[in-house]
Structure 1
């Protein structure tokens, strides 16, 4: 067997070579982010495609029947692995039973039209129609009903276009007589269109897949930076940044803020230890998270200080929510710490006023929180009640 390459083969090998580069790139991202196993599927997908493409370009094996079967095996594995990677990244299930059925159907079809009833057009139809259908179905299934990032939307349309291209490309074979000989087939318009579309659409698709994976990684790092390590609420820096956008969005108005401070928290740490205090903080944050909506904001801005921002919520409704959270905490018993431990919280509630900044709003909520402390703690004070209470300027523990 001769391995001498002609000029055409050298040019064509650029496509599988680029695929290997992308496979290595996905593997590198996975090494840094090992819990994202979809990256392994994408890496294996591009490696399988490179193997199938190289086997055809290099005529390995040279006989067309085993070459068709081996290359089809690699291509089918590539498409299914890509489908798995895309779906798992979006948190959608990939049914390997369906994948196994498609894989088996492709291989059986290629075998039949290679060894039993040789028909090149039939093999092209089996491969292209099956792969196109899988990619289109994957694109549609991965589409989210909620607003997504720009790179996610671009990935959806490119994946859809890539899938449709399999159907369009196959139209080039209509009414044509194609040679079975591998070297002659490599000179046909269909094969050249295949290589061109894979080089262009495939490269763009690969870049988008890699881009979304890297953006996912960057978002996770930003999320870790913005979260309080203990309670997983936003930290103060993230609250100031996200909260400013939150109150500045007219679609969220009216916006209300509730400032919380756990009562006598220092005595909990002194009496039961800081581990007990951490347990209390986490328990309170969990109550808040399960009470408010997913698009509201909760942040830990100090040791025992929390703030929540409620969108499309008026002052009276915010007061009800604040009271619900306060009462829920009073009913929690920390048996592993002390069954007699009754933890309470004080709260101040304000509504956003047109033109004010987030720090000014927080300062108003803080003053009402101090008023609640002054009133005996374990209560909620909103703006409508503020005039009845003389709130001191100094902080009350």
Structure 2
């Protein structure tokens, strides 16, 4: 086999290796569906290229149409995989129409109005248009990370290269215009295939797809790696049991809220489960964990994304409520207290009683987060001294003593 023959196999072989990498990524984490899309796309491209190289299926017409179908499937799957990664799955209806149009034009320009040049333009311009449309959809996404911007630019350049490369190489590939005439005059198919592979269009096509395909694959792998890193970071900021923020995440988000003049007034609600050790000892740690999970859900129902919420540790919780004064925050605390004490919590036996002690403090002028937390903790301790299910709020003015409103309905 000649060096030239070996060269044209480089693209399919590398594509199969890339497909294997993406398949392993997907097998490792089935949640990353884009990995399966990318593996399918590169595998389909390798198959289509091998069809053209080997001349299978036999016959110029079947080979042109079937390889075009597989090439188009590869492009469509790759583009859809990127849209899946960005949460835009199913948004490629226009892309599907273009894909069907490409295949239809290839069929038409072989069996109805035979024109190899028209087929080349239809495929390359169609594929370029699909990549450009996908890139524009990515550009439209707000708050993109640097890796997302890189991927969108790579996609855009990759799409535009189909137009530029095709136009430039077609002008210097005069033999392409003779292929149909030679085929009609009865020329040997193997000679025509050799003539086609010798054109500048074919040579540049294989080289450009080899290089740009590698760069595109690296960009896609980098985006998946960035997603995995971000997910690890998010997991470090979210308490897995409750779905609330961790102590560190709460402190960072709370600092942002306190520094935002538009978030005023700001009120902190802190609470601690009463006799939580007795729940663990009496009903098992599994029941205690399920109770904490329920509490996390209740807190998320009572708060919005502009607030900061956290499981501060053990059975201690905190909510920093933006644009909320002590009256509004006390109502939130009372709803939570009532849910815990009077609602039927299926995670515990029917006779179990769950209460919590609450402290509600509104930020004073110039007060920092540490001082705010300290005042809230002091009120939680005061509420516990008053009995189960108590809610203590800070006084309306700095000079007044804290008031305790015992809301317990049980002894």
Same fold (TM over 0.5): yes
Is residue 2:21 matched to residue 1:25?
yes
SS at match of 1:261: strand
Work out whether residues 350 and 364 of structure 1, in 8 Å CA contact, stay in contact via their aligned partners in 2.
no
Compute the displacement of 1:206 (Å): 1.6
Matches within 5 A, 1:225-244: 225-239=236-250, 242-243=252-253
Relative distance call for 1:13 and 1:339 in structure 2 (3 A) is same
- CA 1:352–1:229 in 2, change beyond 3 Å: closer, same or farther? farther
Partner of 1:118: 114
Larger radius of gyration: 2
> Structure 1: which 5+ residue stretches go unaligned?
392-397
Specify every segment of 5 or more residues in structure 2 that has no aligned partner in the other structure, as ranges: 180-191, 405-411
Asked whether the 8 Å contact 1:72–1:110 carries over to 2, the reply is: yes
Equivalent-residue separation in structure 1 for 2:6 and 2:353 (angstroms)? 76
Matched position secondary structure for 1:298: strand
Alpha-carbon shift at residue 110 of structure 1 (Å): 1.7
Q: What per-residue deviation string (whole Å, max 9, x for no partner) do you get for residues 39-59 of structure 1? A: 111111011112223444565
- Pair 1:42-2:47 in alignment: no
Between 15-24 and 40-49, report the one with greater CA deviation: 15-24
User: Which residue of 345, 348, 352 maps to 1:337?
Assistant: 348
Q: What is residue 381 of structure 1 aligned with on the other side?
A: 393
The equivalent residue for 2:3 is 6
1:137 counterpart SS class? helix
Q: Which residue is equivalent to 1:89?
A: 85
Match in the other structure for 1:151? 147
Aligned residues: 385
Structure 1 residues 205-248: Cα deviation after superposition (integer angstroms, max 9, x where no partner): 221111111222222333334433322323335545x4476458
Distance 1:266 1:27, change over 3 A: same
Indicate the SS of the match to 1:260: strand
Q: Which has the higher contact order (CA 8 A, sep 6+)?
A: 1
CA distances 1:267-295 after superposition (whole Å, capped 9, x unpaired): 43344443433333222110111222235
CA 97–157 in structure 1, closer or farther in 2 if over 3 Å, else same: closer
For the residues of structure 2 that align with 1:309 and 1:293, how far apart are their CA atoms?
10
Q: Which residue of 1 aligns with 2:316?
A: 305
| CA distance 1:22–1:251, shift in 2 (3 Å) | farther
More deviation, 285-294/92-101 = 92-101
For residues 106-152 of structure 1, the C-alpha deviation after alignment (integer angstroms, 9 at most, x for no partner) is: 33322332233221121122212322232233233345643122111
The CA distance in 2 between the partners of 1:71 and 1:367, in whole Å, is 74
Query: How has the CA–CA distance of structure 1 residues 296 and 53 changed in structure 2, closer, same or farther, with 3 Å as cutoff?
Result: farther
Deviation at 1:5, TM superposition (A): 2.9
The TM-score normalised by the length of structure 1 is 0.80
Is the Cα–Cα contact under 8 Å of residues 95 and 130 in structure 2 kept in the other structure? no
User: Which residue of the partner structure matches residue 213 of structure 2?
Assistant: 202
Which whole-Å CA distance do the structure 2 matches of 1:256 and 1:58 have between them?
72
1:329-369 residue CA offsets vs partner (Å, 9 max, x unmatched): 4452225634455533313335387694x555533432232
Matched-pair contact (CA < 8 Å) for 1:319–1:382? no
- Structure 2 length normalisation: TM-score? 0.78
Shift of 1:85: 1.1
2:88 aligned counterpart, secondary structure? coil
Does the residue aligned with 1:379 lie in a helix, a strand or coil? strand
The whole-number CA distance in structure 2 between the counterparts of 1:222 and 1:101 is 39
SS in 2 for 1:293: coil
> In the TM superposition, what are the counterparts of 1:264-343 in structure 2 within 5 Å?
264-311=275-322, 318-319=329-330, 321-335=332-346, 337-339=348-350, 341-343=352-354
User: Could you tell me how far apart the structure 1 residues matched to 2:10 and 2:334 are?
Assistant: 65
Give how far 1:372 is off: 3.3
Which of these residues, 70, 76, 79, is aligned with residue 80 of structure 1?
76
| In 1: Cα distance, 2:162 partner to 2:392 partner | 63
Quickly say closer, same or farther: Cα 1:325–1:158, change in 2 above 3 A.
farther
Q: What is the Cα-based RMSD across aligned positions, in Å?
A: 3.6
